[in-house]
Amino acid sequence: MRIKLFESEQKVMEAVPIGTIKKLTVKGRQFVIAHSGKGLVVADALCPHMNEPLHKGKLNAFNQIICPLHEYRFDLETGAESDDRCNRLQIFQIEIESDGVYLII
Ligand code: FES
């Protein structure tokens, strides 16, 4: 399924500035959208370790999202935890087109 998240690339850049993580609700399902140095990533809203909301986390210079509860670090390309201590974080594909920004789920 392909769902329009934002009307333009400019709108998503304004809503999710580089270095930030925001909550995202799409069709009743919760996600986070993160803007790292490598671009925009949509992921599951909850940490796969113990379900902490990841929008309260941080991004680092290694393209990882850091969970605020136990500071596990998840790669934003693969979803893998840096020390393989829990399941992967589910990462979703997004497409930036001339008519909008789309989430593929
Ligand atoms: S709940 Fe996220 S690292 Fe433990």
Tokens of 51: 């379900």
pLDDT at 82: 98
CA of 82 to the centre of ligand 1 (A): 12
Domains along the chain with CATH numbers? 2-104 (2.102.10.10)
Cβ-contact 31, 92 below 8 angstroms: yes
Give the pLDDT score at 66: 98
Pairing of strands 64-66, 21-26: unpaired
> How many CB atoms lie under 10 A from the CB of residue 71?
10
pLDDT value of position 8? 96
Tens-place pLDDT, residues 52-90: 999 999 999 999 999 999 999 999 999 999 999 999 999
Q: What is the pLDDT of residue 93?
A: 93
Residue 97 has a pLDDT of 95
**CA 4 to ligand 1 centroid distance, Å:** 30
**pLDDT tens digits, residue range 15-61?**
999 999 999 999 999 999 999 999 999 999 999 999 999 999 999 99
Provide residues with CB under 6 Å of ligand 1: 47, 49-50, 52, 67, 69-70, 72
Instruction: Go through the chain and tell me how many residues it has.
Output: 105
Contacts 24+ apart (CB under 8 A), 74-80: 74/43, 74/47, 74/48, 76/34, 76/36, 76/38, 76/41, 76/43, 77/38, 77/41, 79/43
